[in-house]
Amino acid sequence: MTVVVSEGALGDERAPDASIDSRLRERTADLQRRLVDLEALEDAEYAKGALEQARLALEAASGLAEDRSAATRAQAIADASMVLADRQLARRQSQAALLRTKRRLNAVRERAQAQRRVLETLMRQRAELARSTESP
């Protein structure tokens, strides 16, 4: 028995492969745009290790078009590296905010101590004045 396959049928069988390849390319392009956005941040230097790993993984993903599973793994590595970079940058921003808050708190404490010293001096002077007016 001979099976005849029409050209249209072969095209239909290849369509899922083309769709998968297209999605891989789109995902890689999305990840590359995200990497460019992260690298454009002014404090990106504080996450340069994670960003470099993401860049290398994306380069690998781009070169692995024939091996879908390897390309997908490389994309996952790139994504995880960018998540790490996001977290490192968020941590740095939180630390900077904490440092600013500590500085403001110290400034408020110093002002409060200065005001307390002035108040103590005024109270002593008032007490001395009260004693001096009592004694003839």
**16-59 pLDDT per residue, tens:** 677 777 888 899 999 999 999 999 999 999 999 999 999 999 99
Query: 3-class DSSP state for residue 4?
Result: coil
What pLDDT shows up at residue 86? 96
Task: Outline where the chain has alpha helix (H).
Answer: 7-39, 48-63, 68-134
pLDDT tens for each residue of 70-107: 989 999 999 999 999 999 999 999 999 999 999 999 99
What pLDDT shows up at residue 57? 95
**Taking Cα atoms as reference points, which of 28, 45, 120 lies closest to residue 85?**
45
What pLDDT shows up at residue 111? 98
pLDDT tens for each residue of 101-130: 999 999 999 999 999 999 999 999 999 999
